[in-house]
A and B are shown apart, each in its own frame.
Chain A
Amino acid sequence: EIVLTQSPGTLSLSPGDRATLSCRASQNISSSFVVWYQQKPGQAPRLLIYGASNRATGIPDRFSGSGSGTDFTLTISRLEPEDFAVYYCQPGFTFGPGTKVDIK
């Protein structure tokens, strides 16, 4: 069974800051299966990135994904007020525990 970790658990930043979120798997994962979602309170998850680095339709280019093997990263280049949310990685079907990005 693959164990997933996301770090940090909480990231406290200000609008305009750069956010770097990590997703680590206990064994190698094909990049084709690495997905990132954003979830805001009271809303369904929103697909951001699939195939480790492909932005979903309508996702701003301040969101980018990278990585390979066991380590994957979601980067938000400049945080907008609407970006404060919880972010989940999903390498395969199991979800990671999530990283909360909140306002500092």
Chain B
Amino acid sequence: EVQLVQSGAELKKPGESLKISCKGSGYNFTNYWIGWVRQMPGKGLEWMGIIYPGDSDTRYSPSFQGQVTFSVDRSISTAYLQWRSLKASDTAMFYCARPLTINAFDIWGQGTLVTVSS
């Protein structure tokens, strides 16, 4: 079964760093892009960007460029989303997803809830 499994919920303080993960299984991880999507509490979906695990080619949405970093570890079929210094406004659910076509994502992780509060 093709699936993406994300790391568990996080409670962090402003200024702290964080790296959440998305582990792919059931398919060749290096052959498919992985996208990241933010959903703030009670709000809609926001496209953050994508990374190609095969060569780490990365495209960020302008809204998230410089705010987060995508990375992969091909040896363990895992993609990462990282923050250097969290803000309260980073509180959200974050999803990773794998595309069926260039922008149609049919496989989704279960989401990682990140809460940033002092």
Query: Hey, which chain A residues are within 8 Å of B95, CB to CB?
Result: 44-45
Which B residues are closer than 8 A to A by beta carbons? Answer: 35, 37, 44-47, 50, 61, 95, 97, 100-106, 108-111
For window 74-98 of A, CB contacts with B under 8 Å fall at 86, 88, 90, 92-98
Give CA–CA (A50, B46) in the complex, Å.
18
Number of A residues, CB within 8 Å of B: 23
Flag if B104 contacts A51 (CB, 8 Å).
yes
> Which B residue sits closest to A97, measured CB to CB?
B44
Give CA–CA (A37, B44) in the complex, Å.
12
Give, as a whole number of angstroms, the nearest-CB distance from A72 to chain B: 14
Query: Hey, which chain A residues are within 8 Å of B102, CB to CB?
Result: 33
Flag if A50 contacts B45 (CB, 8 Å).
no
Flag if B44 contacts A45 (CB, 8 Å).
no
Flag if B44 contacts A95 (CB, 8 Å).
yes
Flag if A95 contacts B108 (CB, 8 Å).
no
Flag if A94 contacts B47 (CB, 8 Å).
yes
Give CA–CA (A93, B36) in the complex, Å.
11
Asked if A39 meets B104 with Cβ closer than 8 Å, knowing A44-B95, A44-B111, A45-B95, the reply is: no
Flag if A95 contacts B106 (CB, 8 Å).
no
